[in-house]
Amino acid sequence: MANNFRGLLFVLLFLCLANVLFSQEANDTGSKHRISWTRDDYALRYEVVIEKEENKRHSLVLREFTEEPFIFISLPPGNYRLRVIPYDFRDIPGRGTGWKNFKVLAITTPDSGSDSEVKSQLVMEDPSPSISVQEEVKAPQQEEDKTPVENIAEDPTRDTDLTKPGQHKDIFVGLFAEALGYSRYNIAAGGGIVFGFNMNGIGFGIHYTYVRDEENFNFLEGLYIFRLYLSQKKDNTGLFLQAEGGVVWFWYDDDISNIINCMSFVGGLSAGWRFMMNKQWYIEPFIRGGYPYIFGAGFSTGFKFDF
């Protein structure tokens, strides 16, 4: 009697397990849906969050990052909501969309054979021009899998994890105007050009300045610069401190032939703030002090190019 009871219990457990597995397989319709949204010109990537509603509560079912303004999803039938959050070139999240509710409905369609095929339909409850759905899309799985995995692993420069900020590198070039305390009598004014390279909050470059005072005293400065970004290291912007060192030539207008003998080493420190007006154009107010000049203040503007 006990053996028969244990055998019956085993059969019941087996049937329950088979029913659970069959239900999961039936829920996975295999249908792919393409959800797209309006591209943000200043977005580096997007975060897509999808939650499922059950018993008037929402639970996370998908959180995915993508650099394209669309994703492919395959979900079992149910009630869901989604929102899209853009991340700018500083990898800082911006203002995302509001929650958009949608449903996934199971649809049984007759197949060419005797069996029927179960698919799904995704229906947005509150359609929005910023988010659209394309039904029954077959995701280009084969095209995505054409790149061998071993090639990706062998390339150390490729970062396949979009959740990591990665390295931020750029080159920049700019023009500036400046007033310098070189002059013995007055402030010397002029300008110059700067160009350099930034990576993860550290910058290197070359800085050329020409200024002239009211007494026809000229100064030509060539500096190497080393810069540290203090406030926003990930995108090489914001508050920075800069060490400078090089040489300066000085001469009067009527004594330019003696420029070789009128040379001095120069060094100093400067501080400023890089404001990004858009993805490439920046402006920088700055101040500096050092030797043989005493002080300086100016304004720079230019462009940076990420790579």
Residue-wise pLDDT for 16-72, tens only, equals: 444 444 444 444 445 788 888 888 878 888 999 999 998 889 999 999 999 898 989
129 and 201 fall within a common domain:
no
pLDDT of residue 22: 40
CATH code, domain carrying 245: 2.40.160.20
- Going through 111-182 in order, the beta strands assigned E by DSSP cover 116-124, 131-134, 169-180
Which among 87, 119, 135 is the end of a domain?
135
d(CA 96, CA 17) in angstroms, rounded, equals: 42
Residue 148 lies in a domain: no
- Structural domain range at position 221: 169-306
Residue 158 lies in a domain: no
Q: What is the DSSP letter of 12?
A: H
* Mean pLDDT across the chain: 77
Whether 157 shows a pLDDT value over 50: the answer reads: no
204 and 293 fall within a common domain:
yes
93 and 194 fall within a common domain:
no
CATH code, domain carrying 62: 2.60.40
Q: Is the peptide bond before 140 cis (omega within 30 degrees of 0)?
A: no
Domains: count for the chain: 2
DSSP H stretches of helix in the chain: 2-27, 141-144, 149-154
pLDDT classification of 266: cutoffs 50, 70, 90: very high
186 and 130 fall within a common domain:
no
Tell me the three state secondary structure of residue 34. strand
pLDDT classification of 120: cutoffs 50, 70, 90: low
Q: What is the mean pLDDT of residues 156-180?
A: 67
Residue 279 lies in a domain: yes
Whether 137 shows a pLDDT value over 80: the answer reads: no
Distances (CA, A) of 299 to 116, 179, 189, 295, 296: 71, 10, 12, 14, 11
Q: Which two tokens stand for residue 220?
A: 């030509």
Highest mean pLDDT pick, 31-40, 114-123, 218-227, 230-239: 218-227
173 and 275 fall within a common domain:
yes
β-bridge mates for residue 207, sequence order: 194, 223
59 and 124 fall within a common domain:
yes
Task: Flag whether the pTM goes above 0.75.
Answer: no
pLDDT-above-70 percentage for the chain: 70
pLDDT classification of 153: cutoffs 50, 70, 90: very low
pLDDT of residue 172: 95
Closest C-alpha to 194, from 180, 181, 175, 178: 175
Residues 6+ apart with CB under 8 A from 56: none
119 and 179 fall within a common domain:
no
174 and 274 fall within a common domain:
yes
